[in-house]
Amino acid sequence: MMDKLKDFMLVLDENDADIVVVNSCTVTNGADTKVRSYLNSLKKLPKNPRVVFTGCGAWTKGKSLFESKKIDALFGHSKKEEINTLLKNKQTFFELGNLEHIDKTIVSNFVGKSRAFIKVQEGCDFRCNYCIIPYVRGNARSYDEKNILAQISILAQKGFSEFILTGTNIGSYGKKQNTSLAKLLKKISLISGVKRIRMGSIEPIQIDDEFKELIKEPFMARHLHIALQHTSKEMLKIMNRRNKVLDDLALFEFLSENDYALGSDFIVGHPKESEELWTEAMKNLKKFPLSHIHAFTYSKRDGTPSATMDSQVRGDIAKKRYNELRDIINKKNYDFRKEHNTKLEVLVEQKKNDLFVGLDQYFNRIEIKSDKDILGKWINIDKIIPRREHNFCDLNNLASLSSHLVLK
């Protein structure tokens, strides 16, 4: 949207704005509540800005917010490309659009970032019981390959060298066009300047043989975030997931043997997650070569089948289980980093409290002490100090580590 705004000046503080565009999230009831309280806060601003509402919340709460005059205007995802024209309309308007649209915007810069995020598709054909996303984003559709490659070429010419492919369900890329994510990855890797490609969350069943053939390629980051969501066979059925624990485990073992760090999403405390199912899940989880986790405690989303299921899990129990899961993965991550402490390729992304910070090929954070300005640079590190929280390297004191470093 920022790329399309040609006739407006962007400000960073709502207090200075005449118009505030709210790009809303609606993934849980809690997200809706946060959006509502943010909208209320806008009405108290001294300039009384015009409030224009968009994002996923447009499809769930948009109509009631518009009718109750909490917002002045609304446009849906498919209208985002028209934002410049829409904002010139000073009347109230309600333009929800559709859920089939394919965005053709070429985002030509990421201000203040070393890595570029490339959206390759929108929507999802799965129907997990807890998830509202397909109803607010629509079914899976892929962005035009030519556009994706053009966008990456432009960004590579500007100096970006790491690209992260994103979308609602990126593993479905190309399925309806007789192509695939693997084919797209190969084409991206041929663009001059592309050094490393990462992927957003991918579904286990979408890692097919064609994809597996690519895993040794040098352009592939040695980390995949694979959405398991749970490791109890029964819970996966209750959630209406398509993955199966034993197949998932075989896949994770295969990737781990090929030197991959593996992460996952995990929902804790979904309705019907009994003590027995939780115990089974943790027993299975310990077998998984996982080094990263993005865990959530289940949060109800009205309009989904899970929201009306009985046997909801008490908040304190969910919290306890969440902590148990987090402790298991924190230990696995520390063990992984102790084993993988050489030949790290790090793209330095920021400077924080006098330390440089970057991510290695395994998606582990490393803090680096250096008198040289290494911001935005790739560095190869042959030895680090794995600490419980994250890795550390002192470039000013390499002799003591008998390390070797190449600045690129």
Positions that interact with ligand SF4 (CB under 6 A) = 124, 126-128, 131, 133-134, 168-169, 203
What's the closest the beta carbon of residue 205 comes to ligand SF4, in angstroms? Answer: 10
Residue with smaller CB distance to ligand SF4, 298 or 356: 298
What's the closest the beta carbon of residue 220 comes to ligand SF4, in angstroms? Answer: 22
What's the closest the beta carbon of residue 137 comes to ligand SF4, in angstroms? Answer: 8
What's the closest the beta carbon of residue 265 comes to ligand SF4, in angstroms? Answer: 8
Residue with smaller CB distance to ligand SF4, 29 or 380: 29
Residue with smaller CB distance to ligand SF4, 134 or 174: 134
What's the closest the beta carbon of residue 358 comes to ligand SF4, in angstroms? Answer: 29
CA 340 to chain centre: 24
Residue with smaller CB distance to ligand SF4, 76 or 134: 134
Residue with smaller CB distance to ligand SF4, 22 or 202: 202
Residue with smaller CB distance to ligand SF4, 304 or 370: 304
Residue with smaller CB distance to ligand SF4, 169 or 370: 169
What's the closest the beta carbon of residue 368 comes to ligand SF4, in angstroms? Answer: 35
What's the closest the beta carbon of residue 23 comes to ligand SF4, in angstroms? Answer: 18
